[in-house]
Chains A and B, each alone.
Chain A
């Protein structure tokens, strides 16, 4: 097991390098530069700006310079925010997005698995239809819709919770967490139900039942492990995807997280910031995909032996 993990970590380096390289050249190919504004600048000013940020050098040279700085852990200054470096910005936004993500994932897992189990244990009954209807509603309610609806109900009509903010007013974390978690909860519920149904037909469950084990034991000890496999493969990228996905929620609720930086950097063509967040994001993806693979092999004992 340890060897596999080590192997994966080693292979992460070329993966990251490919991501950096492709992103680096992609963003320079995209039309519009970081300093384009509606009022066109005199050419001599543009020239000086490009010089200041080394944009006047050949692209390949810029690329090697960037890699060189990167080996010292230097992501460079943000092109847009002149008094911050990329790493400063990432590390101010990250803890907030992380906290938001943790709440959302906890909500998603708790509600999702519970609803999925309920449904799977007596398929095609009310116990199935009701939670699954909720799940489908959750999937039909993207966060750009659910967020404003929740704000309207709880923030404005009933005036129970703050309409926006993060860590400024009491209770301001609740609505963003629920909004972000809801869609994932719906996915988890559907996948759990599907996965559980798959497992419940299998021989070892029949054997377990035949042995006279109580149904609860059968579910908890035997079925759940296999039944959660699709959920786990889904959660790996989903957790990493929270970073990009949290953008909408962060915008609706004025949460100062990393998601906003990530998306805005792309629109602003803030080259260094795009690269910084992308590197960070790919590291997260590699980590969580690895994590979900490990979890998979733990859940499925047959995989472990090989």
Chain B
């Protein structure tokens, strides 16, 4: 009997040791999976800088930033990033003019006015707007929105930034609305009740208490929308034409940074050519733009954070 217990105790001990060791190994495997995220970020930064470094051996940073023409694939190649940046900013601007008002109004309505059942039913359906493949939105912009716009502005060209921007705006409404709504729902109930007690109506409470209270969250929502619009590719590649054009006029055709990358990738550029390297330089600018907006967003969020 005592022998049996001894053996059992030993077995249990060994098994515990085995189990502990298995736990250690599994923890390392799980950690390795977590490190994939870190590896991805490092790889993105490395690849963008590494491939761009060859590009900047040919092109001076000064030309890159100040030249007003972007024609890397022409015989007379010019490497000024400004036209692409202008296109990107114009499309983003149009998109935000649609997405910020619509998204904010929808968020205020859903958070402050809508009955519970409507909100819970409508939210997942609204999110579908953000799930539509962007190439389908491109089709929509080129073949449905542009013809309608041409009825209003007859001189509008078939490719233009206006319809691309409008459609991207619709596409990012759910992102803006959903993050804004979360921010407004996080404003504590007693602040609303205080406002009602002073005789304010629902709308006064929403606009003067809830919105200012949630401002840091709203800023985060807008920044998220901007990042989406800046990085959006297919809608602009399809509907805005792929001609670099230094203009801020949305009724003109133009190329964005992303559209340029797609245009080059469609062709058959040899690995290591200047055209190949130029898309990494363009990608680097795109990343830096996204980064700048995120840093602005970070400080806005901090500056306007309300502590409850």
Q: Do A and B come from one complex?
A: no
B-side residues, CB < 8 A to A, are none
A-side residues, CB < 8 A to B, are none
